[in-house]
Structure formats: structure tokens, C-alpha cells
Amino acid sequence: MQRISDEQRRVRIGRRHLLAPEARASSPVAVADALVALHATDAATVFLSTCARLTEPGIDAVEHCLYEDVSLVRMLSMRNTLFVVSDEMAPRVEAANARAVAAKERLNLLKHLRDDGNGLDEHWLDEAERSALAFLEDGGPVSGSELAAGVAALRTKITLFPGKKQEAVQGVATRVIRVLAAEGRIRRDRPRGSWTSSQFRWALARPRPVEETAPAQAELALHWLRAYGPGTEGDLKWWTGWGAREVRTALAAVGAVEVRLDDGAAAWVAPGDTEPESAPAPWAALLPALDPSGMGWADRGFHLPAEHRAALFDRSGNIGPTVWWNGRIVGGWAQRANGELAWRLLTDPGKEASSAIEAELSRLTAWVGGARITPRFRTPLERELTA
């Protein structure tokens, strides 16, 4: 059985994740497809992850793909998390993950409506959704509050968890909007603020082709293997949120090839992807919180020293902003209140690395401009650098 070393895995990150300068892409869509999906829990992450991999980074190009030609699509999908994928990839992600997530979201909302005890049911919800869609068709992109103001049903309040300690009265608009978005009937349009804001306006979404679940899961697994392979069953199970049976079925369907890692663990690559690759020229990168290169595997030991984890992750396992050198995480960075970008090394990678990191810092500073970036999930090192 072929062995793929940790060094080769780091070489693959530089090329396949478009982080080495020679591998950078010319379009945001190419970046999204190379990584399969971009984490989008923080609006800023999409821009920071994309621009770190573009030959000419800039906000306008990403916004055009998100809001003008909509060649990038936000979807609630893997692990019930918000991602950005290309319009071409969206039908596969919908069939492989998002459809099941949306079904659970609808069931949860219907349960809350029934528990409220005021006669709200699926018929009420269907009429409320139709009214919301009609309003968007007539009125164009609007904020959630504007949508609720224009649709009487969305101003309805319900009691969540009645009779329990966490009982609370809440407007139904946010939950109805979430279901419509999860089902791909509406989409997030331009935010009310800058590109770092998550206060999105809402617009009608374009219909997508309907694909079958099993073939879509196989296709998604193949894309993941090409971007992140070698990866273990546990890595793919964590990344997708699938069960073990779904993971094994998908790997078998695409003819995944078993290999061995440096620690002796069994892992998988795409068919024909066992040969070693030449290393790119030395490279540095400053990647944002939740970047795919830090969140692509359950076991990140091949690029992240165990002693650095406590400084760079929050308690829920979310990675913060990181500094990379040749496929290894060597430190972290943050933006201070005055806009200054600060960084700290946790490992000394040498003078060449420090010079390359400084160059990346200047590159990031140039296109970020006056924007202020604060990750939603704060990590110990990020907090220290901004204190």
C-alpha cells in the first residue's frame, strides 16, 4: 500500500489550496471550487479566504460573484454550517447535504409552531411563506426586518419551549426566513453594511437542478479527496457531517484508493492520485478564522503542532486567524482596533519565513483598507494580539 508522507500532504496544500503564489487563481469561483466550499459563518471569512488565493485580491470581484452574477452561492449545508460554493457545485451540495439540513429546519419550525398552542400549523406556514415570496418578487432585496414589516404573518410571535426554563417569546420571521433560505428558495443578497457585515438583505433565489442524494454524495466526496486527500474516513465524516455508512458508500462509489499516512493510519485519495508532487517555491499565508485549509480535516496533526492548538482554537473547535509557512501553521494574526494587523509566531521558521510573512501582511493590509475584522469565534491568541 502506497504511503503519503506528511511533507507531501503539506506540499499538496500549497498547490491545491492555491496558497503558493505560483498556484493562485484569477477568479473567486476558481478559489471556491479548488476548496470545494468556503466557510461563511463570518461574512469576512469568505473575502479573506478568497483574496488570500487570488493573484489580484479585491473586494469588488468577490461581491460581483456573490451578488451580481450569483456565481457563488451561500448554503446551509455541511454540519448545518453556512458555506459558499460555486453555482455549479450548489446542486450537488444541496442533494448531498443541504436538503437533509433544510428538512430538519422545517420540522423544527413546525414543532415550535405546534408547541405554541395557538393553532399555527403547516397550512399557516405555507401561506406565510407564499406571502413572503410574493413580497420579495415585488419588492426586490430587503432586510429581514423590512420583510417582516411587509408581511403580516411574519410579525407573529410564538412561545418557544413553553413551560420550560428556557421559555421565551420570539417573532417567527427569523425562523421562517431561515427555512426558506435553507431550502434554496431565497438567498442572502448584499448586506446592509460593508463586506464584513452579516446583516444581509434577502432576495428570491434561482431554481437549481434537482439531483439524487447518493450520486451527489459520491461527487462531493471525490471533490473533497482531490482538494484534501489523503484523508481518513473520520476526516470526511467530520467535514461532511455524514454517517459512517454514507462515507464508506461514497468512497466506494468513486473508487477511492487506500493509502497509509506517516502515523500508519489508513487514508484515502482520489483514483490516480498517489504519486508524489514537487514542492512549490517557499510560500507564506495569512488565513482567516474558519479558513478551509485549517478546517478541512478532523485530524490536523500533519500541519498543526499539538502544542499550538490551545492558542489557535476556541473551545468549540473553531480555528482563529493563522500564519502559515510551507504548509505548516506557525502562528496567528489579528487586527487591532486602530486597524493595525499584528502577528505572532509560535514556532521560529527562520528569516526567510519572517520576510515572506511580512510581505503577505503588506498584501493583506493593502486590500483590506479601512475595514475592521473581528472573528465571531474569538481564540486566545487573537484576543491577546488585540488587547
Structural domain of 290: 284-386
Domain presence at residue 214: no
Domain presence at residue 209: no
| Average pLDDT estimate for 8-33 | 98
Q: How many domains does the chain have?
A: 1
Residue 172: per-residue pLDDT: 95
Residue 139: per-residue pLDDT: 85
Domain presence at residue 360: yes
Q: Answer for the pair 97, 237: CB distance below 8 angstroms, yes or no.
A: no
How many angstroms separate the CA atoms of 239 and 22, rounded? 27
pLDDT in tens, 93-126: 999 999 999 999 999 999 999 998 888 999 999 9
Domain presence at residue 300: yes
Q: Answer for the pair 259, 3: CB distance below 8 angstroms, yes or no.
A: yes
pLDDT in tens, 281-316: 999 999 999 999 999 999 999 999 999 999 999 999
Domain presence at residue 159: no
pLDDT for 200 beyond 90:
yes
Could you give the 3-state DSSP secondary structure of residue 158? strand
How many angstroms separate the CA atoms of 95 and 113, rounded? 27
Name the pTM for this structure: 0.95
Domain presence at residue 307: yes
Averaged pLDDT score across all residues of the chain: 96
pLDDT for 387 beyond 90:
no
How many angstroms separate the CA atoms of 317 and 290, rounded? 10
Residue 377: per-residue pLDDT: 92
pLDDT for 140 beyond 90:
no
How many angstroms separate the CA atoms of 25 and 219, rounded? 23
Domain presence at residue 4: no
Q: What are phi and psi of 244, to 5 degrees?
A: -60, -40
Determine the residue type at 258. E
Domain presence at residue 165: no
